[in-house]
Amino acid sequence: MTSPTPIVYDYSRLVVPDDAPAFVRQAALVEADLKYIAPRLATCRQAVMDNARLWVTGGPVPPEKQPLDAAFFDLPHQFLDEEREQLDRIIATANRLAGLCDRVVVLGIGGSYMGARAVFEVCCHPFHNELDRNARGGRPRIYFEGNNLDNDAAGGLLDLLGEGDDWGIIVISKSGGTLETAVAFRVFLDALKKGCRGDMGKVRERVVPITGETGRLRDLADAMKLPEVYPIPDGVGGRFSVLSAVGLLPAAVMGADVVQLLEGAAAMNEVFRLSAPLENPALDYAGISWLMQVRRGANIRLLSTWGKRLEAAGLWYDQLLAESLGKHGQGPTPLTAVNTRDLHSRGQQHQEGSRDKLITNLVVEGCPSEPIAVGRSEYDQDRLNELADRTLPEMLAAARAGTDQAYADDHRPTADIRLPGLDEVSLGQLFQMLMIATVVEGRLIGINPYGQPGVEAYKRNMNALLRPR
C-alpha cells in the first residue's frame, strides 16, 4: 500500500509569540504552552499504544483501567492483514445483500449507526437514494432507522418499503438490548416477514445482525437461525466501532471502498506512531484543543465543516467526544456547524458572542466534483455577471478565508483539519485521527474515555415507566 496524502492539522493561527499583548494571548496559545504539552503528548501516545497492545496480546486488563475499549486501534491492521478473510466475508455479504435488495434499512443508534451515516454522506452521491439503480452503481438505497422512537419516521419508512420483499435489514446493537433498536427490529422484521409472505428462508437471506457475543439480539439471531451474524469484538466500544463490521458492512453495501477506508485509518496509525508531537495530527489536535479549554476557557468545541457532505462526520465526532469525555463535570461540549449554511444562523454568536469556543475548520483540499460556475445572464438585476466566471468552490474558499479573517480580526483565531479529499481514504484517516485524539484527550483530562455510565439514567427511568412491576 502506498502512503496516502496525509490529513493536515494546522494550528499555526492559534499560536502567538510569548510577548504578544495580553488581550491577544488571552485567546490563543504561546510557545511556552507548546513546550509544556509536547512531552505530555509523547507520554500519552505511549500509553495509548500500550493499552492497544494489551488487547492484541490478550490482556489481562487491570481493574483500574476498566473499561478499556482500546481494541479499536488495531482494527485496520487486523482486517487488512490477519483477519483479511473476515473482511472478505463482510464484502461478500454486502454484495449478496446488494444483489437481493433495492433498499437496505440500517437499524442502530449512537455508535451503532453514526459512522455508517458519515460514510454514506461522504462517499455516496448526495442524492444516492433518488438515483436509479445503474446510477447507484448497482447498490441499494440506504435508510437509517432504530435511532429514535419517532412514529412518523418509522411509519414513513414502512410506507416507502411497501409490501414487497425487495429490501433487507442490517440490525446493529452491541449490547443487543437497546430499546430503540430492538423495537425497530421487531417492527421492521414483521414487515419483512409479511413482504416475504412468511417464507423464513427469504427472510433469513435478508437480515444480517451485528452484535456482541452474548445478549438478546444474539439470542434472537440464534433462535431465528440467521445464517450470517457479525460480531462486535470485545474491547471495541460502540462509538469506536466504525471500522469493525458495524461501519464496514453498511459501507460495503452502499458501495464504499472499505479497503481504502481501512488503509486510510492504518496510515493514520503510522503517522501517530512515528511523527513527533507538534507534527502529529491526532496528538496535536488533542493537545491543542485541551490546552485551549483548560487554559483559555474554550469549553465549546466547534467543528466547522465546509461542505454539506461532512455534516454526518461532524455529528459522529459530536457523539464520540460527548460520550467519551463528558464525565465527572468535565469535558468539552461538541458542536458541529455546516458552512456556509450556519454562518446565517450561528455565525453571529461565533463572531461576537461569548469567548468560550475553539473553532476548528474541517475542510477538503480541492473539489471532488466538476466546479459549477455562476454563469452570465441577460437578466443581471442580481449583479452576478461580475462573478460570472467564479465557481462555487472558489466562493466557498472565499467565504472560509473571509470568516477566518473576521474571527482573527476580533482575536478569535481558528485552526484547520485539512482532508486531502472527500473519499474513503481521507475519511478513514479522519475517523482514526479523531478516535485516537479523543483517547489522548481523556488521558490529558484524567478521565477514562471508554464507557458511558451517564446514558443509563434515562434508560432506567424509561424502563420503569414502560414496564411497571
**Residue of 204, 212, 229, 144 whose CA lies nearest to 176:** 212
Residue 230's beta-bridge partner residues?
A: 210
Tell whether the torsion through CA atoms of 179, 185, 188 and 193 is positive or negative.
negative
Q: Is 147 in the site for ligand PA5 (CB under 6 A)?
A: no
Distance set, CA 56 to CA 239, 265, 439 (Å): 20, 17, 18
Residue from the set 51, 78, 93, 181 that interacts with ligand PA5 by CB under 6 A: 181
Near ligand PA5 by CB under 6 A: residue from 110, 115, 255, 347: 110
- Nearer to ligand PA5 by Cβ, of 237 and 314: the residue is 237
* Residue pair 371/394 in contact by the 8 Å Cβ criterion: yes
Q: How far apart are CA 332 and CA 353, in angstroms?
A: 18
Compute the 3-state secondary structure of the chain and give helix, strand, coil in percent, each to the nearest 5.
55, 15, 35
Contact segment (CB under 6 A) with ligand PA5 among 106-114, 120-128, 265-273, 355-363 equals 106-114
Binding segment for ligand PA5 (CB under 6 A), chosen from 89-97, 110-118, 373-381, 437-445, is 110-118
Which residue in 168, 171, 170 sits closest to 193, CA to CA?
Answer: 168
Residue of 85, 163, 344, 378 with catalytic role: 344
User: Any contact of residue 117 with ligand PA5 (CB under 6 A)?
Assistant: no
Query: Which C-beta is closer to ligand PA5: that of 232 or that of 267?
Result: 232
Q: DSSP of 432-464, one letter per residue?
A: HHHHHHHHHHHHHHTS--S--GGGHHHHHHHHH
Stretch that binds ligand PA5, among 3-11, 33-41, 107-115, 346-354 (CB under 6 A): 107-115
- State the nearest-atom distance from the C-beta of 181 to ligand PA5, in Å: 5
Q: Which residues contact 187 (CB under 8 A, 6 or more apart)?
A: 154, 158
User: Residues 310 to 349: which contact ligand PA5 by CB under 6 A?
Assistant: 323
**Signed CA dihedral, 210, 216, 218, 223: sign only:** negative
Annotated active-site residue in 35, 194, 328, 459: 459
∠ CA 268-312-159, nearest 5°, is 135
Residues in region 430-469 near ligand PA5 by CB under 6 A: 452
Work out whether 304 is an interface residue with ligand PA5 (CB under 6 A).
Answer: no
* 77 has catalytic annotation: no
With CB atoms as reference, the residue minimizing the distance to ligand PA5 is 238
> Which whole-number Å values give the CA distances from 281 to 28, 46, 62, 67, 457, in the listed order?
19, 16, 29, 26, 35
| Helix runs in 326-381, H state only | 347-352
Which residue, 104 or 171, has its beta carbon nearer to ligand PA5? 171
CB of 455 to ligand PA5, least distance (A): 6
Q: In this complex, which beta carbon is closest to ligand PA5, that of residue 277 or of residue 442?
A: 442
- The site string for ligand PA5 over 231-250 (x = CB under 6 A, - otherwise) reads ------xxx-----------
Grid coordinates given for 370: 466538476
Tell me whether residue 308 is one of the annotated catalytic residues.
Answer: no
Q: What residue type is assigned to position 114 of the chain?
A: M
Q: Which single residue is written with the C-alpha cell 446514558?
A: 455
108: helix, coil or strand?
Answer: coil
- Cβ atoms of 201 and 165 within 8 Å: the answer is no
Contact between 29 and ligand PA5 by CB under 6 A: the answer reads no
Q: Where are the alpha helices (DSSP H) in 101-244?
A: 114-123, 151-161, 179-195, 200-206, 216-223
Amino acid in position 93: T
| Among the listed residues 237, 324, 248, 212, the one whose alpha carbon sits nearest the alpha carbon of residue 76 | 248
Q: At closest approach, how far in Å is the CB of 146 from ligand PA5?
A: 9
Smallest distance, ligand PA5 to C-beta of residue 48, A: 18
Give residue for cell 443508534: 109
CB nearer ligand PA5, residue 293 or residue 452: 452
Interface residue with ligand PA5 among 6, 76, 111, 442 (CB under 6 A) is 111
- Does the protein bind ligand PA5 through residue 168 (CB under 6 A)? no
Residue with smaller CB distance to ligand PA5, 209 or 307: 209
Q: Which of 147, 173, 305, 414 binds ligand PA5 (CB under 6 A)?
A: 173
Residue of 28, 109, 157, 254 interacting with ligand PA5 (CB under 6 A): 109
Instruction: Kindly name the residue from 323, 350, 357, 441 that is annotated as catalytic.
Output: 323
In the complex with ligand PA5, which residue's Cβ is closer, 148 or 405?
148
Smallest gap, in angstroms, from Cβ of residue 462 to ligand PA5? 13
Question: 424 burial class (0-12, 13-18, 19+ CB within 10 angstroms)?
Answer: buried
* Least separation in angstroms between CB 220 and ligand PA5: 13
For ligand PA5, the closer of residues 280 and 432 by Cβ is 432
Q: Cβ 178 to ligand PA5, closest distance in Å? A: 3
Please select the residue that binds ligand PA5; options are 117, 139, 174, 301, rule is CB under 6 A: 174
Nearer Cβ to ligand PA5 (142/171): 171
Using CB under 6 A, list all residues that contact ligand PA5.
109-112, 173-175, 178, 181, 237-239, 323, 452
Q: Give the residue numbers annotated as catalytic, written as ranges.
A: 323, 344, 459
